């Protein structure tokens, strides 16, 4: 082998795009420039409205152009991305974005994601990245410990709670049918025994999507009535579940934050051989708070759980987690074999979920948990929940209707008729002081506020409540 073959092309050789390939020093300069632009965004984002201006949105039209024949330099691409893109972002990381259940970005997790981007590690197998493998094992064990779930369970990262729900449901499907003598891996689903699926009336749409993707249609789904807070009514839960029953429960109703009565339902289902999966996209983290864990009492008794780290845990997108009590059941549903991916390692992330290649999501979760520890994680849950209670009190004192008891970080408010409420939501979004979305709760239009950002302060809540009430007064006056 010649030196040229050993060392690769000279730095000045043409790149595939026709542009000179940057040297290592030039690449380092580009990364530094990107970090400086990111730092400028972090420093100044709080000074602008939460939602983009009309001018910033209009400038996005310049990006909608045909694929160029010849590319630009990386520095020019970065400059355009920053100058056009940064003003057109929603400011979700500075404490006043209350739309959906979007967490902000924890500083340690944010910094770790920048470093992880430079690493560009594939976490599929330990041999592909020793650091990704180590952090994957450590971060998942820390999460099980923080959530007080069985240490013998297995946790795995995935793209989000929808994928985590799908993974848990696929595992449940295969395990239940396997116990009935039907091997899905060899026989497929055609002709398989029917499974019974039980959910609450407030089941999240992502869980229904996961059921459909798992081949479980609406004809197999039974809905159980829920109470005024969106919790499954234990007194209305079926008493005749069996070993072919899959039950989906919820930790953290997406509108009210309330959770199903796990301790009353799970033992009854499991003692008859059924499987209980918990959709805990954000509510599962209540188990990490000594002050709030009673709200999810009994959640540790389930067979599988799904959650997000990019919601209440405040790590960058996308980062979901599936947890299964029985590692053997997860491996049976997800494991694959191929000569080129053979491994003797005990923990192989690609065998624990749907994806083979996958980014090293554990890096940011490890950094967040290492930075905060058990006490800091609990404080995050309690701090944001206290802010939500303050938000509700301020809005109620200003004449808004709080539609459900506020127990954690979620609240629903209305301002009279549906038309007035819709107009207030639109006015708040246009005002830019904060951002909130709309929803329908028990037939009534409502503003939904989710306090999920680690950066939110008491001042943010007070300023935002004042802005919302100002908008409400303006709408009612007109």
How far apart are alpha carbons 368 and 370 in whole angstroms? 6
Q: Which CATH class is domain 374-477?
A: alpha beta
**Tens-place pLDDT, residues 280-323:** 999 999 999 999 999 999 999 999 999 999 999 999 999 999 99
Q: Prior bond to 318 cis, omega within 30?
A: yes
Q: Do residues 463 and 433 make contact, with C-beta atoms less than 8 angstroms apart?
A: yes
Cβ partners under 8 Å of residue 140, min gap 6: 154, 155, 156, 157, 321, 362
User: Mean per-residue pLDDT for 75-90?
Assistant: 97
Q: Give the burial string for 121-133 (b: 16+ CB within 10 Å, else e).
A: bebbbbebbeebb
Among the listed ranges 60-64, 291-295, 343-347, which one has the minimum average pLDDT value?
343-347
> Is the model more confident about 22 or about 121?
121
Domain segments of the chain: what residues? Answer: 26-93, 111-368, 374-477
Question: Which residues are bridge partners to 401 per DSSP?
Answer: 414
Give pTM, 2 decimals. 0.94
CATH, domain range 111-368: 3.40.640.10
What percent of the chain stands above pLDDT 70? 96
> What is the average pLDDT value for the chain, to the nearest integer?
94
């Amino acid at each position: 082998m010649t030196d040229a073959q050993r060392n690769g092309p000279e730095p000045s050789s043409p790149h595939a795009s026709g542009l000179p390939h940057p040297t290592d020093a030039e690449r380092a300069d580009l990364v530094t420039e990107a970090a400086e632009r990111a730092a400028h965004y972090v420093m100044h984002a709080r000074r602008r409205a939460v939602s983009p201006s009309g001018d910033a949105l209009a400038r996005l039209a310049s990006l909608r152009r045909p694929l160029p024949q010849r590319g630009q330099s990386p520095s020019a691409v970065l400059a355009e991305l920053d100058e056009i893109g940064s003003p057109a972002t929603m400011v979700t990381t500075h404490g006043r974005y209350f739309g959906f259940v979007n967490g902000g970005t924890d500083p340690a997790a944010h910094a770790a994601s920048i470093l992880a981007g430079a690493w560009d590690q594939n976490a599929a197998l330990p041999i592909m990245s020793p650091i990704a493998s180590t952090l994957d094992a450590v971060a998942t064990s820390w999460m099980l410990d923080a959530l007080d779930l069985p240490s013998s369970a297995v946790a795995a990262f995935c793209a989000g709670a929808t994928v985590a729900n799908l993974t848990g449901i696929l595992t449940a499907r295969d395990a239940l049918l396997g116990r009935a003598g039907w091997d899905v891996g060899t026989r497929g689903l055609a002709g398989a025994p029917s499974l019974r699926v039980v959910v609450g009336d407030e089941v999240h749409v992502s869980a229904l999507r996961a059921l459909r993707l798992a081949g479980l249609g609406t004809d197999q789904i039974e809905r159980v009535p829920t109470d005024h807070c969106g919790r499954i009514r234990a007194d209305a839960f079926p008493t005749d579940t069996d070993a072919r029953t899959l039950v989906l429960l919820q930790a953290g109703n997406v509108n009210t934050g309330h959770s199903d009565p796990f301790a009353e339902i799970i033992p009854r289902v499991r003692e008859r051989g059924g499987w209980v999966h918990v959709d805990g996209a954000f509510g599962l983290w209540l188990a990490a708070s000594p002050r709030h864990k009673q709200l999810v009492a009994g959640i540790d008794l389930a067979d599988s759980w799904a959650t997000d780290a990019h919601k209440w845990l405040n790590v960058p997108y996308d980062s979901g987690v599936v947890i299964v009590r029985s590692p053997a059941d997860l491996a049976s549903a997800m494991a694959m074999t191929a000569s080129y991916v053979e491994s003797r390692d005990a923990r192989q992330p690609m065998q624990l979920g749907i994806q083979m290649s996958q980014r090293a999501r554990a890096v940011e979760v490890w950094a967040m948990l290492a930075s905060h520890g058990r006490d800091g994680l609990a404080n995050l849950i309690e701090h944001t929940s206290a802010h939500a209670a303050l938000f509700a009190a301020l809005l109620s004192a200003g004449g808004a209707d709080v539609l459900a008891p506020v127990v954690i970080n979620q609240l629903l408010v209305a301002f009279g008729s549906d038309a007035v409420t819709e107009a207030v939501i639109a006015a708040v979004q246009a005002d830019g002081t904060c951002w909130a979305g709309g929803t329908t709760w028990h037939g009534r239009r409502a503003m939904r506020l989710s306090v999920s950002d680690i950066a939110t302060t008491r001042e943010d809540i007070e300023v935002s409540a004042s802005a919302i009430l100002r908008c409400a007064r303006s709408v009612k006056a007109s």
